[in-house]
Amino acid sequence: MAAGAQQPPQQAPAPSPTPQNSRALVATQGTATFTTTRQLVVEDVIVKDKDGNPVKGLKASDFVVTEDGKPQNIDVFQYESLETEPTEQTPQPRQLQQRPAVAEAAAASTPAPAADAVKPATRNDIAPEKPGDVKYQDRRLLVMFFDMTSMPIQDQMRAQTAAQKFIKTQMTASDLMAIMTFSSDVKVVEDFTDDRDVLLKDVKGLVIGEGSGMDETTSDDSAADSGAAFQQDDTEFNIFNTDRQLDALATAVKKLASLNEKKALVYFASGMTRNGFDNQAELQATINAAIRANVAFYPIDARGLVAQAPLGDATKGSPGSQAMYSGSSARAGTSDFQAQQETLFTLASDTGGKVLLDDNELSNGIVQAQKDILSYYIVGYYTSNDKLDGKFRRIKIILKNESATAKLDYRQGYYAGREFGKTSGEDKERQLAEALMLGDPVTDLTVDLEVDYFRLAKDRYFVPVVAKIPGSELAMAQHGGADTAKIDFIGVVKDGAGKTVQNVRDSVDIKLKGETAAQLAKSPIVYDTGFTLAPGQYSVRFLARDNATGKMGTYDAKFTIPDLGTDKQLPISSVVLSSQRTPLSAAVFSAEKDKKLLSANPLVQDGEKLVPSVTRVFNKSQQMYVYLEAYEPTADTTQPIVASVSFYRGKTLAFQTAPLEVTEGLNEKSKALPLRFAVPLAKLVPGRYTCQVSVLQPTAQKFAFWRAQMMLTQ
């Protein structure tokens, strides 16, 4: 896909510069000046002969470029000649080639540094290029990205050693390297340079152990038995960790987007697990951002070649239980490992890169990225289609006189820009509908989602869906002078065959005056709706849009509704953790207009609605409400149930409620027995906890457990 971005227009020199991305009529001393927005599209084209060697010596006139079938004039053309032979000697850093005017201006404006000058304490960043400029002439751009959050200490050391080996012995004279790390945020350690001494110093200066402890853990049959009674693992938080990893990659890609050359990002990580209720839109958005920025991912599994013991190695305890003897533990361990590598493979294959798996020579992954970027042509044009409609535009590039055996490798198209402010109401509605079908999700607006399920009848379940959006991201509308912020919601649920079974469309108006405006910057917006579904596998795509700024956020996920009537253990519903009960009269952010659907919602009791926490972050001053249902499918009368809620901090039991015994209240239709807790949090110290709900049916000797991570703040 091409790198398509809005750029300033090409025009003759004027006394004063025209604003970027503007359409205006300016009257100055009787002279009318027209300015317009034009979109510069840059393609990096590799041309190979029948033997796979780069074809040199072509001119702009040899290429024919069409966009959606319409011929385009080539405005930017450059050949990048790259060397492929490594050299071990340390080259003298050479001045990066720039346009003469740019180099002279930089020399004139930059004073000579004093001998004892102190290096400024500002953060490094990737220096951008001017539109249509080629800053790094005949240079190969490689980025080494160290994800410290996913690698344990031994893998960080292995990645560090591989990077040093490549810099010392495998760099070519054409290579420019940049270094980025991710621990708490994305940091540019070094901009593109060929100074090996500087690069080696940067790599050796990586803080080993930084960000560790956030690596993936599992909760299946391969998990170790820690000896703590029903201790929860980090699975719930790993869902958000994975999104943080993908968001970090997207941030790195955006930093590289202004460079017209091809870029390869070598991603050091110890796998990346997609588990639980994941936002698949985050993965797709990261891949699409890389394609638009002309960045190829080259992930390297820093664990190297792993020989897996069937029941785990000496680094963890025995899994315990019958899973050791049935083979379930070994199968789960293998499946977990392959799932961690599968996401790395997806990142590479969908962006044109390659992944290095099961190889102890990690530097081979960097060499692969180096070899894949051969000599290529930079072909740029200002598109003749000036509509900012956000639609996909297909590009075709051919050679006029070359033989048919010549092979061209380039991005096949790009998404045009979009001007939301000039979009009509009808177009805005169509935009929402199209966003549900496009393979290009957007994550400009943060959206988190929780999907639960409760049994209504043998083959029917109520599925409440709750979306949460940070209020700080909506406060921009107030800065523009608006009195209200309008949020559009649209969602669709599809079954396992891809058929739409339920949908929702709604809008919410939020006042931006008085106390509401003051609270908006620090309070989330919560929206809820609900569906009735049969047991089975489903997928949900939910989209929210700020109607003032046009920012959108997509949430994609798959979920399963189990058939609780056939469960051999004690069947229970989803467990809802909440800190808020809202009167129905005040619950304006809800799509439940149908009174029949509202009456089926088990979260509605006595004229109040229990609002799920979604992110499971609570305050000491609050009460935590816990709600779930236990089911007795074959019972005609209530069988006594005993339940409790426990809070663990590490392996230590921090607090446990008194056992709750329920002896009546069985719903004749759904066979549900409601369980409700109100837990004061004031006695707990702030920090991260494992919340465990234990349910026991003494007469039938059945039990069930539910566990999740939560965070308590002051």
Which uninterrupted H or E stretch holds 397?
Answer: strand 392-399
Question: Within 10 A of 667 (CB to CB), how many other CB atoms are there?
Answer: 16
- What is the identity of the amino acid at 200? L
DSSP state letter for 705? E
**Residue 2: predicted pLDDT:** 44
- What is the identity of the amino acid at 61? S
Taking the mean position of all CA atoms in its chain, how far away is CA 291? 15
C-alpha–C-alpha distance, residues 374 and 140, integer Å:
8
DSSP state letter for 572? B
> Reduced to 3 states, what is the DSSP secondary structure of residue 311?
coil
Give the mean pLDDT of 452-457: 91
Question: Within 10 A of 341 (CB to CB), how many other CB atoms are there?
Answer: 18
- Sorted by where each begins, the domain ranges of the chain are 3-81+376-418, 140-360, 426-562, 603-714
**Residue 638: predicted pLDDT:** 86
Q: Do domains 140-360 and 603-714 have the same CATH topology?
A: no
Instruction: Using only the alpha carbons of the chain, give its radius of gyration.
Output: 29
- The tens digit of pLDDT for each residue in 367-411 reads 998 888 888 888 888 888 887 766 778 899 999 876 667 888 888
Which uninterrupted H or E stretch holds 372?
Answer: helix 363-372
Report H helices in 438-513: 476-479
Using H for helix, E for strand and C for coil, what is the string for 587-616? CCCECCCCHHHHHCCCCEECCEEEEECCCC
Write down the residue that tokens 């607090």 correspond to. 655
C-alpha–C-alpha distance, residues 424 and 601, integer Å:
37
Q: Does domain 426-562 have CATH number 2.60.40.10?
A: yes
> Reduced to 3 states, what is the DSSP secondary structure of residue 420?
helix
- The tens digit of pLDDT for each residue in 615-650 reads 888 888 889 999 999 998 888 888 899 999 999 987
CA distances from 682 to 213, 611, 623, 686, 691 (A): 28, 21, 8, 9, 15
Per the CB < 8 A criterion, the answer to whether 674 and 704 are in contact is no
Buried b (16+ CB within 10 A) or exposed e, 584-595: eeebebbbbeee
Contact partners, residue 291, CB within 8 Å, separation at least 6: 1, 350, 351, 411
The CATH code that applies to domain 140-360 is 3.40.50.410
- In the CATH hierarchy, which fold is given to the domain comprising 3-81+376-418? Immunoglobulin-like (2.60.40)
Per the CB < 8 A criterion, the answer to whether 81 and 56 are in contact is yes
Write down the residue that tokens 């991260």 correspond to. 688
Per the CB < 8 A criterion, the answer to whether 253 and 342 are in contact is no
Average pLDDT, the chain: 76
Q: Which of 27-31, 563-567, 603-607 has the lowest mean pLDDT?
A: 27-31
**Residue 120: predicted pLDDT:** 42
C-alpha–C-alpha distance, residues 692 and 703, integer Å:
13
Give me the sheet containing 536-546, strands edge to edge. Answer: 500-511, 484-495, 536-546, 552-561
**Residue 641: predicted pLDDT:** 93
C-alpha–C-alpha distance, residues 689 and 225, integer Å:
19
Per the CB < 8 A criterion, the answer to whether 342 and 335 are in contact is no
Q: Which of 24-33, 153-162, 559-568 has the lowest mean pLDDT?
A: 24-33
Per the CB < 8 A criterion, the answer to whether 486 and 528 are in contact is no
- The tens digit of pLDDT for each residue in 653-699 reads 899 999 999 998 888 888 899 999 999 999 898 888 889 999 999 88
Strands (E), 562-686: 576-583, 604-605, 608-612, 617-619, 623-631, 641-649, 652-656, 660-662, 672-680
Q: What is the DSSP string of 91-133?
A: PPP-PPP--HHHHHHHHHHSPPPPTTPPPP-----PPP--TT-
**Residue 676: predicted pLDDT:** 93
- In the CATH hierarchy, which fold is given to the domain comprising 603-714? Immunoglobulin-like (2.60.40)
Record the tokens describing residue 575, joined without a space. Answer: 């467990």
Closest CA to 650 of 112, 363, 228, 143: 228
Confidence band of 245 (pLDDT split at 50, 70, 90) = confident
273 φ, ψ (degrees, to nearest 5) = -90, 130
C-alpha–C-alpha distance, residues 557 and 553, integer Å:
13
Closest CA to 41 of 63, 11, 23, 66: 66
**Residue 496: predicted pLDDT:** 87
CA distances from 187 to 154, 182, 249, 339 (A): 22, 6, 11, 28
C-alpha–C-alpha distance, residues 265 and 352, integer Å:
11
- The tens digit of pLDDT for each residue in 500-531 reads 899 888 888 776 665 656 666 667 788 888 88
**Residue 657: predicted pLDDT:** 93
**Residue 427: predicted pLDDT:** 62
Q: Is residue 325 left, alpha or beta, with left meaning phi > 0 and alpha meaning psi from -120 to 50?
A: alpha
DSSP state letter for 568? S
**Residue 41: predicted pLDDT:** 85
- The verdict on pTM exceeding 0.85 is no
Give the mean pLDDT of 65-85: 87
C-alpha–C-alpha distance, residues 262 and 63, integer Å:
19
- The tens digit of pLDDT for each residue in 294-351 reads 899 999 988 888 766 666 655 555 555 555 566 666 666 677 777 778 888 889 888 8
Terminus-to-terminus CA distance in the chain, angstroms? 47
Buried b (16+ CB within 10 A) or exposed e, 303-322: bbeeeeeebbeeeeeebeee
Which uninterrupted H or E stretch holds 264?
Answer: strand 263-269
C-alpha–C-alpha distance, residues 453 and 670, integer Å:
13
- The tens digit of pLDDT for each residue in 10-50 reads 333 333 332 333 333 444 445 555 555 567 888 888 888 88
C-alpha–C-alpha distance, residues 601 and 610, integer Å:
10
pLDDT above 70 (res 207): yes
Confidence band of 476 (pLDDT split at 50, 70, 90) = low
